[in-house]
């Protein structure tokens, strides 16, 4: 990562206006590269997110033997086939990306070689036991630092023992790691999730020709079954716009008076759209138009108009469908009429930063009234926020973008210590906001 990039954000000079497209979906981009590397044949990927996180995955798949090149705006991957990856010659550095590290752990567990994975200071502080502990049951050996932290060595087993695993927390990353390991196990891998989480892995495995059975569980959640060893066959992939990135211009346009924008071609997977549902409950003028299917994914254009929002009570069952959107939702709630309660946010504590703590600090530094009760975040909205705060982003891209949105709507300029990490998921964020009229001066 490059040098620190501080940014001072003043209130937007006018309403935000215009039509924009956000970069490709981060979750789908990581998976497209990994699955293409595990497939037999050549995959073309269009719309890949070219953010730091995904570039780390591209680099890792190269180090594992796949040919990965970028040509004329598309990415071309010549895969090695399941069980065909090779031992990397050096440490795999996953940068800031939890998704890359967790998903790749599953792949490495059942490939017969030794590898070492590390990451930046944020990623080295995040828990890897949630994948290394269950994946050890395949026969792979994981050696981590104390507290299951990176760097981590993996001695893969080759054809492994298939897992039957019930996730202790609703995590798409852990589910995906178990399924990816299962591709090179003998027999049925079964994962149960306590609540449905994003299903991009299941969808893409099917797209690459592997059978995946999904059953709804009677109490709640889902059971996913996959039979190994599996064969993946190269398929072209078209990556939709990332709803988690669209969240930032959308909330900015709701909060900056006089705004009217369109965010085009945003992915509408129902397990990702919790924020948009919540904003509508808050009375947002947010409309999905021109819904269509492209490359097997439903996408649509989001039409957004500024207007007063009202407080909301977001149930814990909605968390997986908007897990990355809470910091920016919290900003919206700080400007809403009434007191909002966002429930069940324990998982926010283990994101790129402790997002519960860093979101509270962001809001408090800028004059919002907020507190935590157990795992719930409570925000007393007000008509306008004083702003003027100094914000620490703790190497967290979504904190930096949420702080930017807050600054555009607050009275006094907001000082952000570092916006460099925005590159991990949303390259071009500042210029995209400026095409809408945000007037950011990097």
Decide: is 324 part of the binding site for ligand S3P (CB under 6 A).
yes
Nearer to ligand S3P, 250 or 261 (CB): 250
Decide: is 358 part of the binding site for ligand S3P (CB under 6 A).
no
Tell me how many residues contact ligand S3P (CB under 6 A).
Answer: 10
Q: Count other Cβ atoms within 10 Å, centred on residue 418.
A: 20
Residue in 43, 57, 110, 176 binding ligand S3P, rule: CB under 6 A: 176
Nearer to ligand S3P, 104 or 261 (CB): 104
Going from the C-alpha of 93 to that of each of 104, 117, 126, 428, the distances in angstroms are 11, 6, 14, 23
Residue nearest to ligand S3P (CB): 27
The angle that helices 52-63 and 98-109 make with each other, rounded to 10 degrees, is 20
Burial, 149: exposed, middle or buried (Cβ in 10 Å; 0-12, 13-18, 19+)? middle
Decide: is 359 part of the binding site for ligand S3P (CB under 6 A).
no
Instruction: Tell me the C-alpha distance between 379 and 340, whole Å.
Output: 5
- Interacting residues with ligand S3P between 377 and 436 (CB under 6 A): none
- Interacting residues with ligand S3P between 183 and 242 (CB under 6 A): 198
| Closest distance of CB 99 from ligand S3P, Å | 4
Rama region for 187: left / alpha / beta (φ>0; ψ in -120 to 50; rest): left
| Closest distance of CB 305 from ligand S3P, Å | 28
Give the chain's length: 442
Instruction: Say how far residue 98 (Cα) sits from the centre of its chain.
Output: 9
Instruction: Tell me the C-alpha distance between 167 and 165, whole Å.
Output: 6
Taking CB under 6 A as the binding criterion, the range among 119-127, 171-179, 180-188, 400-408 that sits at the site for ligand S3P is 171-179
19 labelled binding-site residue: no
Site string for ligand S3P, 88-117 (x = CB under 6 A): -----------x------------------
Decide: is 323 part of the binding site for ligand S3P (CB under 6 A).
yes
Decide: is 27 part of the binding site for ligand S3P (CB under 6 A).
yes
Residue in 138, 144, 171, 184 binding ligand S3P, rule: CB under 6 A: 171
Cis peptide before 394 (omega within 30 of 0): no
98 labelled binding-site residue: yes
Nearer to ligand S3P, 192 or 347 (CB): 347
Instruction: Tell me the C-alpha distance between 163 and 160, whole Å.
Output: 9
| Closest distance of CB 198 from ligand S3P, Å | 6
Taking CB under 6 A as the binding criterion, the range among 156-164, 170-178, 184-192, 265-273 that sits at the site for ligand S3P is 170-178
Matching residue, tokens 């019930």: 166
Nearer to ligand S3P, 303 or 398 (CB): 398
For 319-332, the DSSP string reads GGGGGGGHHHHHHH
126 labelled binding-site residue: yes
Of 25, 53, 120, 324, which one is the catalytic site residue? 324
Active site residue 236: no
Instruction: Tell me the C-alpha distance between 272 and 278, whole Å.
Output: 12
Going from the C-alpha of 389 to that of each of 50, 110, 367, the distances in angstroms are 31, 48, 8
Instruction: Tell me the C-alpha distance between 30 and 60, whole Å.
Output: 11
* Binding-site ranges for ligand S3P (CB under 6 A): 27, 99, 171-173, 176, 198, 323-324, 347
Specify binding-site residues for 3-phosphoshikimate. 26-27, 31, 171, 173, 324, 351
Residues with catalytic function: 324
């Amino acid at each position: 990562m490059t040098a620190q990039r501080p940014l001072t954000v003043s209130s937007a000079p006018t309403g935000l206006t215009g039509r924009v497209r956000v970069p490709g979906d981060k979750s789908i981009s990581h998976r497209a590269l990994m699955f293409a590397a595990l497939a037999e044949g050549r995959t073309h990927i269009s719309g890949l997110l070219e953010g730091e996180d995904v570039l780390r995955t591209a680099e890792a798949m190269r180090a594992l033997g796949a040919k990965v090149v970028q040509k004329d705006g598309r990415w071309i991957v010549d895969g090695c086939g399941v069980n065909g990856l090779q031992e990397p010659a050096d440490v795999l550095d996953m940068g800031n990306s939890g998704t890359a590290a967790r998903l790749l752990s599953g792949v490495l567990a059942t490939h017969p070689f030794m590898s070492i994975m590390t990451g930046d200071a944020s990623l080295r502080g995040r828990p890897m036991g949630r994948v290394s502990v269950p994946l050890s049951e395949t026969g792979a050996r994981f050696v981590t630092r104390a507290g299951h932290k990176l760097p981590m060595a993996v001695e893969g087993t080759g054809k492994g023992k298939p897992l039957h695993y019930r996730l202790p927390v609703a995590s798409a990353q852990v589910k995906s790691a178990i399924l990816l390991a299962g591709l090179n196990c003998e027999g049925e891998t079964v994962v149960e999730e306590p609540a449905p989480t994003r299903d991009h892995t299941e969808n893409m495995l099917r797209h690459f020709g592997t059978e995946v059975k999904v059953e709804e569980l009677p109490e709640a959640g889902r059971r996913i079954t996959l039979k190994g060893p599996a064969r993946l066959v190269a398929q072209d992939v078209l990556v939709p716009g990332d709803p988690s990135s669209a969240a930032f211009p959308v909330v900015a346009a709701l909060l900056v008076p006089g705004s009217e924008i369109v965010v085009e071609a945003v992915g509408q997977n129902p397990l990702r759209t919790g924020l948009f549902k919540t904003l509508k409950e808050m009375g947002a003028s947010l409309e999905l138009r021109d819904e269509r299917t492209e490359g097997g994914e439903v996408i649509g254009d989001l039409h957004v108009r500024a207007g007063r929002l009202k407080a909301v009570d977001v149930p814990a069952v909605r968390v997986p469908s908007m897990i990355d959107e809470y910091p920016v939702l919290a900003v919206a709630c700080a400007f809403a009429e009434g007191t909002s309660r966002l429930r069940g946010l324990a998982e926010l504590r283990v994101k790129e930063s402790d997002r519960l703590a860093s979101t509270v600090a962001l809001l408090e530094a800028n004059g919002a009234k907020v507190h935590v009760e157990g795992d719930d975040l409570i925000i007393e909205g007000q008509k306008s926020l004083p702003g003027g705060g100094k914000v620490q982003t703790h190497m967290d891209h979504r904190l930096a973008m949420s702080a930017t949105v807050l600054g555009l709507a607050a009275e006094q300029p907001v000082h952000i210590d570092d916006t460099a990490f925005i590159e991990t998921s949303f390259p071009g964020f500042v210029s995209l906001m400026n095409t809408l009229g945000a007037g950011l001066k990097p």
